[in-house]
Amino acid sequence: MPAIKYRVALTDEEVDTLEALLRKGKSAARQQTRARILLKAAAGCQDAAIIEALGVSATMVGHLRQRCVEEGVAAALHDRPRPGKAPKLTDKHCAQVIATACTPAPTGHDHWTRRLLADQVVQLEYADTFRHESIRRLLKKTP
């Protein structure tokens, strides 16, 4: 077995925190699995033993060891922000769109349609373009 490149060394406080996280059982399964990996790694277990005991991949154990050593326990427990396109509207703009939907419809219309609201978003310059489907998702999230 190759030598372990990243040796996980946890303080007593970090061990207590991880064990408390596992005892409570209120955290996400992924976070609990990561805590178990870190505890086993700190106890001196080889990667093969951790993989066998927890049913995880070698890549996961290796990446978690590296992340714990380089960035700390807290960073290793939580996911990094995922890449993706930033929302076009801020929370304030979303609230204003919802408020607009609750007002009387513009002249010549019986009610606000999704397309009218999308056009309103562009007209108010909240976004350069905005689709009616995005309005549907926004309104669906609203209780």
Domain spans, the chain:
12-77, 91-136
Three-state SS at 68: helix
Distances (CA, A) of 66 to 8, 26, 59, 70, 134: 8, 26, 11, 6, 40
Residue 21 token pair: 């996280």
Cα(84)–Cα(118) distance, rounded to whole angstroms? 22
Q: What pLDDT does residue 86 have?
A: 87
Q: What pLDDT does residue 2 have?
A: 62
Question: Is the pLDDT at 52 greater than 60, yes or no?
Answer: yes
Three-state SS at 72: coil
Rounded average pLDDT over 7-28: 91
Question: Is the pLDDT at 1 greater than 60, yes or no?
Answer: no
Mean pLDDT of the chain: 92
Cα(100)–Cα(97) distance, rounded to whole angstroms? 5
Flag whether the pTM goes above 0.85.
no
Cα(5)–Cα(83) distance, rounded to whole angstroms? 28
